[in-house]
Amino acid sequence: MKRTLRFFLVTAVSVLFCLPLAAQQKKNDRNTWQDKIQAEKIAFLTTEMDLTPQEAQAFWPVYNQSEKERFKATEAVFKAFGELDKALKDGKTEKEISPLLQAYSRASKQAAEMDSNYIEKYLKILSSEKVARLVIGEERFRQYQIHKLRPGFNNDVRAPKQ
């Protein structure tokens, strides 16, 4: 009985000490995964846009800032969407749903305006053709990533140029 209790205690203590390490490893794996996709995206877009070194030097800092802002804007849209969805599932009243719907609409508009504002910033750095290639390239990259996760999703998606 004492052996079993000792074994149980040692196991429990070991698990408690290992959980933070496992959580840290999972976070590191996620960061590594995100870094890998980000590196793929940069290479993909650079090729798609046919950027010169001078253009790339001016473009990437602006693009990276837009990505940070886009992430925040997308989070706001998803948060507003989630609150609206929860209100509907909880059977909230029209009076309670209306401000949530307006918040979702505002968040969506702000995200769209942000994209529009960055297109104007890109046009100060790049030609219209290269900005158009950026817009198309981002969508192609998104489709490419989906295709990698779900083969057969869309056979028209082409791999990045080599």
Rg of the chain over all Cα atoms, to the nearest angstrom: 23
| DSSP H helical ranges for the chain | 2-49, 53-89, 94-123, 128-149
- In a structure prediction context, what are the per-residue pLDDT tens digits for the chain, which is 162 residues long? 555 434 333 333 344 444 454 445 555 666 788 889 989 999 999 999 999 999 999 999 999 999 999 999 999 999 999 999 999 999 999 999 999 999 999 999 999 999 999 999 999 999 999 999 999 999 999 999 888 887 765 555 555 554
Residue entry with tokens 């999972």: 26
**Model-level pTM greater than 0.75?**
no
